[in-house]
Amino acid sequence: MIADVYIELKEGVSDPEGESTKKALKLLGFENVKSVSTRKVFRIEIDANSREEAEEEIKQMCEKLLANPVIQRYHITWIS
């Protein structure tokens, strides 16, 4: 099974990478850009008996390493 794990900033947390990318895009003439935010994606291939089981394990991964709950949240998208 393959999952894409998205790590993104919680509402209201500032995103300097997104902001400066937006600024650069505007400078390049992309006037229509309203906002830019960043996220990180980990593609994880995992052996498990069921999707539920795998999802439970990935949640653990997020809590133990991939996300810092102070400013980040995560969600999972299944690829296969």
Partner 1 sequence: MEVRIAVLRIEGTNCEDETVKALRNVGAFAEAVHLKQLYSDMIKEKERRSLRDYNGIVIPGGFSAGDYVRAGAIFSARMRSVLRRDIEEFIREGYPILGICNGFQVLVELGALPGMDEDKPLSEKPEMVLAINNSNRFECRLSYLKHENRGNCIFTGALKKDIVVYPVAHAEGKVTFPSGLESLHINRLVENDQIVFRYVDERGNYAGYPWNPNGSIYNIAGICNITGNVFGLMPHPERAFYAWHHFDYPSEGKESEYGDGKVVFESMVNYIKKL
Among 4, 20, 30, 33, binds partner 1 (CB under 8 A): 20
Nearer to partner 1, 17 or 56 (CB): 17
Q: Interface mask (CB under 8 A) for partner 1, residues 21-60, using x and -?
A: ----------------------------------------
Does residue 69 touch partner 1 according to CB under 8 A?
A: yes
| Residues 6+ away with beta carbon under 8 Å from 73 | 7, 8, 9, 10, 67
Buried b (16+ CB within 10 A) or exposed e, 49-79: eeeeebbeebeebbeeebbeeeebebebeee
Residues at the interface with partner 1 (CB under 8 A): 10-14, 16-17, 19-20, 63-66, 68-71
